[in-house]
Amino acid sequence: MKSIGIVITTYESPEWLEKVLWGYSVQEYGDFEIIVADDGSSPITEGLIEQMRIETGMRIRHVWHEHHGFRKCRILNRAIDEAEADYLIFTDGDCIPRSDFVQVHHEYAKKGHFLSGGIVRLPRGLSHEVERQEILDGSLFRIRRLLRGGVPLSLKLRLMTRSRVAGRLLERMSTTKPTFNGYNSSAWKADLLSVNGFDERMQYGGLDRELGERLIRFGIKPISIRHQTVVLHLDHDRAYRQSDLMAANRRLRDQNQVHWTTWTDYGLHQEARQHAA
């Protein structure tokens, strides 16, 4: 029997994080721990987490370090290291889960594989309008509600389904390759340790995919569940998005592909990182 941990990244977004945590309070599969991987938020976030522990009864751990620029990979590695669960779901503090989110990941988890889920991006106005009750009762995920809130009608929206049968059929028909993404993916902790976690040289843009690419080269196969589980992404500014750093990330990924890299010396294990430095 596997234990489930949910790693949620955040930085100075308590309004979004609260909405996300309400989504986890009504999960159909409720036996999990939450690890909030915080890249240096102010004490407001710590206070929110304590409040949510009291109000929901959920097991929430707050893994925090001081903010010294974008260090998401380092706080993610700390979260992996400190997680007690043997199977970890990764998502962001701006992504509200549907009530079957954890259940689907739990159901499809398979040795030697990682899972890659889907996302629907909300416009800025709707992101601020989202209310607690519509998260709790699930009405936020109804297509009519999303259309009314300004989400454009698309094939992705039409294919958003809770039906396992329909979902599996759509996965087989899809030509989109599954990747490890930060908003909706899961993997065995042991597999993450086998590649030394996230590469802490990576800045915003592709850091999750880079980890997934090393997992695949290590022999871990991806499974798509993008039509069977979904999160709603709350829109916000991204001051940390810089084209030069994203280009450097791309070069690093290309280099790793050429050298068939599976292990990073700049990852989770401190001894390896210090030795490489």
Which tens digits make up the pLDDT trace of 158-168? 777 677 777 77
Beta strands in the chain (DSSP E): 4-10, 32-38, 60-64, 87-92, 95-97, 113-116, 118-121, 185-188, 221-224, 230-233
| Confidence at residue 276, expressed as pLDDT on a 0 to 100 scale | 42
Using a cut of 0.95, tell me whether the model's pTM lies above it: no
Q: Give the angle subtended at the CA of 78 by the CAs of 57 and 214, to the nearest 5°.
A: 115
| Confidence at residue 239, expressed as pLDDT on a 0 to 100 scale | 61
Query: What torsion do the CA atoms of 87, 88, 89, 93 make, to the nearest 10 degrees?
Result: 160
| Confidence at residue 197, expressed as pLDDT on a 0 to 100 scale | 97
Phi-psi sector, 109: left (phi>0), alpha (psi -120 to 50), beta? beta
Which residue, among 17, 113, 74, 23, has the nearest Cα to 267 in the 3D structure?
74
| Confidence at residue 241, expressed as pLDDT on a 0 to 100 scale | 67
| Domain 4-276: CATH architecture, name and number where available | Alpha-Beta Complex (3.90)
Token digits of residue 98: 């549907």
Low pLDDT (below 50) residues in the chain: 272-273, 275-277
Token digits of residue 139: 């009405």
**What Cα–Cα distance (Å) separates residue 198 from each residue in 93, 128, 212?**
18, 31, 9
Over residues 89-116, the pLDDT tens digits come to 999 999 999 999 999 999 999 999 999 9
| Confidence at residue 102, expressed as pLDDT on a 0 to 100 scale | 98
| Confidence at residue 123, expressed as pLDDT on a 0 to 100 scale | 95
| Confidence at residue 245, expressed as pLDDT on a 0 to 100 scale | 81
